[in-house]
Structure 1
Amino acid sequence: MSSVSEGRFRTSSVPLITRGALRTTLPTDDGVLIEAVYEPCTADADAGGEAGDAGTAIVVAHGFTGSADRPAVRRAAEVFSQRAAVVTFSFRGHGRSGGRSTVGDREVLDLAAAVAWARSLGHRRIVTAGFSMGGSVVLRHGALYTAPGAEGEAEGRTEAHGEAHADAVVSVSSPARWYYRGTAPMRRLHWMVTRPTGRVVGRYGFRTRIDRNDWDPVPLSPAEAAGLIAPAPLLIVHGDQDPYFPLDHPRMLADAAGGAAGLWLEHGMGHAENAADETLLTRIADWAMDPVTP
């Protein structure tokens, strides 16, 4: 889950669609249509290369109430595109995508569609980078969608998942467990998600359409998922000033990974993509290109 409001967004100089970018609509496995944007690596362009080569693509999963066009997501895409091609998309119920938000449950299908699209464009290596709600989604996706022939596959994987798997995972500002209400911002989020009046506020105040149904069944928790991602590299990033999820959340995720995950606790950082500055985003992009295991 993410924040009810990510606060004032830093301005971004990134055009809505950069040269060589593609915007499309992707169908998910359950029939929801989501908007997605592909941007080629700017380093390739500067060197005279062609977009859509067989290199790395980073797929960015935004936080709750975000979208592919929010300034913080555009900023992340700009920084990441200096190292790799980038796919951004809007989760169901957000932006121009269809459906309603299930706040981290069926969103894994949206991410899978975006990853499969990146592979269809010729990228053989995919790194998923998620923030807050998106951070929990990339963890579950990494556990449920494994490479064809991989050992220790998570329960629920089918052969159809083969082209939708991630080769490395970055989770920023993710919760470790569901239904957390230990901070005031999270209590406000739960009010918005679970109450009719709250969902009206979500729709008209935050442009987020929220499903009224409870989870059934309750999805795999982020901590459980973190323990199933190896051998794919995993990086967990969290701010020590996060007002939504205190530091026991990233530590629980790292412990669940059994020492197979990198853990960055960022001094002075707040929550999710809006708190990730260019320096941190560049470090994440560098890790994505060359993961360093603990």
Structure 2
Amino acid sequence: MIDHVLRLYPADYRSTYGEEIVDVHREMTTDLPRAARLRADADLAAHALRVRLRLDSASSGGRFFAVAAPFALAAAAVGNGLVLTRWYAGLVISPAPAWLQLTHMDLAEALHLMCSLAVCVGTIVALAGRWVLGVAAAAGGLLGTAVQGAIDAPLVQGGWMTSAAALLTVAVVLACPVDRRPGEGLSAAAAAVAGIGWFPVVVADTGAFGVTTDYGVWPMLVLAVAGAALAVRRRSSGAREIGAMAVASAPLTVAALTGAGSDLLPLIGMFLVLPLAAALGTCAIALRRRH
């Protein structure tokens, strides 16, 4: 089995580290039961594919997705959190009793809400430190949303675009290398982005600010500012951080596109948010280095 798994590595990597990989793997799995050996083989195969795709922790791609993954979860949580809160607001505002609405809820709608809840709860769990468990729950919710968006477009706002964004988010999160999972600092930053991106929109929906819609720009702005701030803190050029935010923003971009309709002005402003944040972050880093 190990010989077949070893072939998944690129030829140059296999010739350099192949014998060492085989020796260590056989030593670690000698006394393990069959189920544990199969799990170890699967882990090794996953590492081989990461190396072949240049998504291991030593590659630039792996470092890029290590930054993007927690913020992709945060962006997905914002979008799905708004789905849940807007549904709840409709439940409360409706003159019909809540129990009557719940008992007559369509099964497809109930599944859609359950998927959104899984994404939100999974994100909280993942950013709280239980990454594997949280990602499993969030990915399950996103995959469910993707299926519903493809087969029942009227139910899921955005239809196939929401499905594509959900699949992209799952891919981004799973591309994060195992040994580069976000630490407390990055997880806290992503959690802050989710909270700051979600709560003001909920308040705006109540009409408390006298605002009818934000066209989806506010969560994008929060994500862009977080990328610029992260670049300034790391004293980098900002390309990796802003690029990671751009990849992570897929769910928010789709929500903005579907919410803005034919009004082009907010869409133009939204798509300028990330480039402007990159420019401001680069300027701030340059000024910081001079001083």
Normalised TM-score (structure 1): 0.26
Q: Which has the larger radius of gyration?
A: 2
Q: Is the strand fraction higher in 1 or 2? A: 1
Q: Is the helix fraction higher in 1 or 2? A: 2
